[in-house]
Amino acid sequence: MKFIVDTNLASSPAWWLVDDDDHVIAWAGRTFVSLAHADQAAHDFRVNADDPDYRVNTRPDGGWQWTAWRPEGVRVAVSGDWFPNEGTAYDAARRVQQQACTAIGP
């Protein structure tokens, strides 16, 4: 697992957490004003991955996604994919919560 800090297709800086097969398992959920800010946000998430409140939500077609929120109401990460059910989304959030701190990166 590793963090990647780069620009998206619109040239806006962000961070992504990818697994060993290069599948995006989480991302910042927003873009930043600079690569330095994106790098700092990735670092903050890595060292504090167990602090946010991980919430699972659904979309009208039934897909599930997790988001991570700081106590002050700031969203700090979003799942890299949608999941077929609530339990799978919770499991994915738990894995990120437990393993992001060991990821390579900022």
Q: Write the pLDDT tens digit of every residue in 25-65.
A: 999 999 999 999 999 999 999 999 888 999 999 988 889 99
For 102, how many CA atoms within 13 A lie in the half-sphere containing its CB?
A: 8
3-state secondary structure of 28: coil
What structural domains and CATH numbers belong to the chain? Answer: 2-102 (2.30.29.80)
Provide CB contacts within 8 A for 73, sequence distance 6+: none
3-state secondary structure of 97: helix
Bridge partners (DSSP) of residue 13 are 7
Instruction: Please write the tens of the pLDDT for every residue from 62-96.
Output: 899 999 999 999 999 999 999 999 999 999 999 99
Query: Residues in the chain, how many?
Result: 106
Is the dihedral angle over the CA atoms 91, 28, 5, 22 positive or is it negative? positive
Looking at residue 31, what is its pLDDT?
A: 96
Predicted TM-score (pTM) of the model is 0.91
